[in-house]
Amino acid sequence: MRNILAISWILALSLTTQLATAQSYYFEQYSVREGLAQSNVYDILIDEGGYIWLGTGSGASRFDGLTFINFNTEDGMAASGVRTILQDVQGRIWFGHNNGGVSVFEGDSMKVVFQLGGDITHIMEDRSANI
């Protein structure tokens, strides 16, 4: 009888811990149909303002939770393909491109910073705030 009671108690505790730790997650899938620049996303950044930046093969997409705003060469980017995104300590958003270009979004405008050879796959900021 004692064993049955102990086993029942252990079983009840294990079931309640499973129920307590179970979580439901809500997923939403976005594509070009909803406004994303391209379905292939290479990098994602959430900036200090809460915007989600997505680097794609066709430029960068900024998502505010409702709508996408897309940036490409027509908006001042060095190239369309965005491989990496970084926000620096000053709040600027940096983009590394497939063709070796680097662009920066500051305030409300995009501009080309420089062109290098090869793909830019990472952008880093050091302790002195140098990119």
Give ∠ CA 46-23-68 in degrees, rounded to 5: 30
124 found inside a domain: no
The range of the structural domain enclosing residue 45 comes to 35-115
pLDDT of residue 11: 61
CA–CA dist 127, 94 (Å, integer): 17
15 found inside a domain: no
52 found inside a domain: yes
Whether 10 has a pLDDT exceeding 60, the answer reads yes
pLDDT of residue 29: 86
pTM to 2 decimals? 0.79
27 found inside a domain: no
Q: Which two tokens stand for residue 66?
A: 């409702």
Half-sphere CA count of 1, side-chain side, radius 13 A: 0
> Residue 56 maps to which CATH number?
2.40.10.500
Three-class SS state of 19: helix
109 found inside a domain: yes
Structure confidence at residue 123 as a pLDDT band (50, 70, 90) = very high
Write out pLDDT tens, residues 16-36.
655 555 578 888 888 899 999
- Chain CA centroid to CA 61, Å: 10
19 found inside a domain: no
* Cβ atoms of 78 and 120 closer than 8 Å: no
Domain count of the fold of the chain: 1
Sign of the alpha-carbon dihedral angle for 20, 22, 24, 27? positive
49 found inside a domain: yes
Write out pLDDT tens, residues 51-106.
999 999 999 999 999 999 999 999 999 998 999 999 999 999 999 999 899 999 99
Whether 4 has a pLDDT exceeding 70, the answer reads no
20 found inside a domain: no
